[in-house]
């Protein structure tokens, strides 16, 4: 049986297209269906996946302990386009309280794969840059986290008809394949990690609507905090520390 390599690659090539068919992705997209164990997704893993999608796990190695979710998996899901994936990723960042950055883009591979991209946890900033930033925000955020994921979306229909000769038995139901290495080396839901998250689109819209109603930045943030307090009660302190739903006043100034 062939091992799927989840080792992170050197991440010093952010946004640079990689040569076609490089290492890990080529091996996984080609062979993973043969490895399909049709495994049950543990509840702890399901708890961080966005709802409203159909998931199928070819393989899951679950390392979760208590509340700390940790696993690596080959997951198939019903996403058909780049747009579908972006929406899923936005939801995933919400449901898992994690933030992902593009690690590598791949040239469009055309006939069989319509979209492929690699992402890394944002607690891994580029190597070599943190050292000169001692004491600054960037330095404390970087934990060299090796969590990463690679998504490939396969074409389910080719020239108007189903790819009947495809060896991929997960088509046409699950065009997207996600190699998810969800093994963070830091806490995810502690207030320290949440404060680095991006302010979510939803929160941005609330801010904008408050500005239209003549709220200043400080007042607007106070309003959002007040609303969070009403909605989350005992969980308020966790929510208020999460920059995605509770922006800082500096952000509101932008």
Contact status: 184 vs Zn ion (CB under 5 A): yes
Q: Which stretch binds Zn ion (CB under 5 A): 107-115, 120-128, 157-165, 218-226?
A: 120-128
Is 141 a binder of Zn ion (CB under 5 A)? no
CA distances from 176 to 160, 179, 199 (A): 19, 10, 27
Residue 198 CA to its chain's centroid (Å): 13
CB of 89 to Zn ion, least distance (A): 15
213 by Cβ neighbours in 10 Å (0-12 / 13-18 / 19+) ranks as exposed
Query: Which of 145, 147, 243 has its CA nearest to residue 192?
Result: 243
Q: Which two tokens stand for residue 101?
A: 């950055």
Min dist. Cβ of residue 113 to Zn ion (A): 17
Q: Which of 103, 104, 120, 123 binds Zn ion (CB under 5 A)?
A: 123
Of the two residues 38 and 159, which places its CB atom closer to Zn ion in the complex?
38
- The least CB distance from residue 142 to Zn ion, in Å, is 10
61-83 b/e with 16+ CB inside 10 Å = b?
Answer: ebebeeeebbbbbbbbbbbbeee
Q: Which position among 18, 24, 36, 89 is part of the footprint of Zn ion (CB under 5 A)?
A: 36
Interface with Zn ion by CB under 5 A: which range of 22-30, 105-113, 145-153, 156-164?
145-153
Q: What minimum distance in Å lies between the beta carbon of 225 and Zn ion?
A: 27
Residue 147 found at the interface with Zn ion (CB under 5 A): yes
**151 in contact with Zn ion (CB under 5 A):** no
Among 25, 75, 145, 171, the residue binding Zn ion under the rule CB under 5 A is 145
Instruction: Give strand pairing partners of 181.
Output: 72, 148
Residue 58: name the closest of 183, 173, 148, 145 by CA: 173
Residues that bind Zn ion (CB under 5 A): 36, 58, 121, 123, 145, 147, 184
């Amino acid at each position: 049986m062939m091992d799927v390599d989840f080792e992170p690659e050197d991440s010093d090539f952010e946004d640079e297209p990689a040569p076609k068919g490089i290492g890990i992705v080529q091996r996984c997209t080609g062979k993973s269906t043969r490895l399909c164990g049709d495994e049950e997704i543990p509840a702890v893993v399901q708890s961080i996946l966005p709802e409203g999608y159909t998931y199928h796990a070819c393989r899951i190695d679950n390392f979760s302990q208590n509340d700390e979710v940790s696993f690596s998996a080959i997951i198939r899901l019903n996403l058909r386009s780049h747009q579908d994936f972006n929406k899923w990723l936005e939801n995933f960042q919400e449901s898992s309280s994690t933030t992902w950055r593009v690690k590598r883009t791949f040239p469009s591979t055309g006939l069989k794969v319509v979209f492929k991209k690699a992402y890394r946890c944002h607690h891994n900033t580029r190597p070599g840059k943190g050292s000169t930033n001692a004491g600054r925000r960037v330095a404390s955020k970087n934990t060299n986290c090796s969590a990463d994921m690679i998504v490939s979306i396969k074409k389910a229909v080719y020239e108007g008809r189903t790819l009947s000769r495809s060896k991929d038995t997960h088509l046409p139901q699950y065009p997207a394949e996600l190699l998810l290495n969800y093994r963070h080396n830091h806490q995810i839901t502690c207030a320290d990690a949440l404060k680095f998250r991006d302010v979510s689109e939803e929160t941005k819209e609330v801010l904008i609507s408050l500005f239209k109603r003549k709220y200043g930045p400080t007042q607007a943030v106070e309003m959002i905090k007040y609303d969070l307090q009403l909605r989350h009660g005992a969980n308020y302190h966790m929510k208020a520390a999460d920059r995605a739903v509770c922006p800082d006043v500096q952000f509101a100034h932008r």
